[in-house]
Amino acid sequence: MEVKISESWKRVLKEEFEKGYFQDLITFVKREYENHTCYPPENKIFAAFDHCSFEDLKVVIIGQDPYHGHKQANGLCFSVHDGIKHPPSLINIFKEIAADIGNPYPVSGNLEAWADQGILLLNATLTVRKSEAGSHHKQGWEIFTDAVIKRISDQKEHVVFLLWGGFAKKKGAKIDRKKHFVLETGHPSPLSANRGYWFGNKHFSKTNEYLNEQSKEKLKW
């Protein structure tokens, strides 16, 4: 399987692609896609990078692994294809946006418009078997996405990192907080949100306030 990723990220991650663990990972992913139904579609595995260049990157949102239901995952964390029913976490994200900045609840759960504005919607694991959550964990994706986060932290300044839930907080533990703006809250899943750990975080308005302070264009959430 050839790694088809945008040129801006290919330059940044070139050394990572040449490492042994990544070669083993690609062999595993190729075999899984040949023998099982896996998500997202093969041409969407690196969609988060294709929609958001390294140069234009403003915000990073960290998810865990892709949705494993039929036609849900489109390569962006928390996002689904147009016309697909919104998963519970995405519903709560949209509800918080409505409460925070007054945006109406959207028809589509496709977050490509976010990514195109400079939001890297990064899952820790980029692939999954159909109906088997976590099935591609510990195959190398986590090492790769840790390297992505570190390169962003090291090579850029004034990036907003939105860490939602314990998993994302651990994933972002090594971000240089002197250079970047890090916001943390509970996960938007109903289990967390219904316990009061999600709603009212105002991450969306806070992000735009910070971007404005850095003379960067605000995001259209």
Positions annotated as catalytic residues are: 65
Secondary element (H or E) of residue 152: helix 141-155
Partnered with residue 80 across adjacent β-strands are 73
d(CA 99, CA 142): 33
Amino acid identity of 78?
F
| CB of 119 closer than 8 Å to CB of 52 | yes
> What is the distance between the alpha carbons of residues 200 and 160, in angstroms, rounded to a whole number?
18
Q: Which of 163, 165, 189, 187 minimizes the C-alpha distance to 174? A: 163
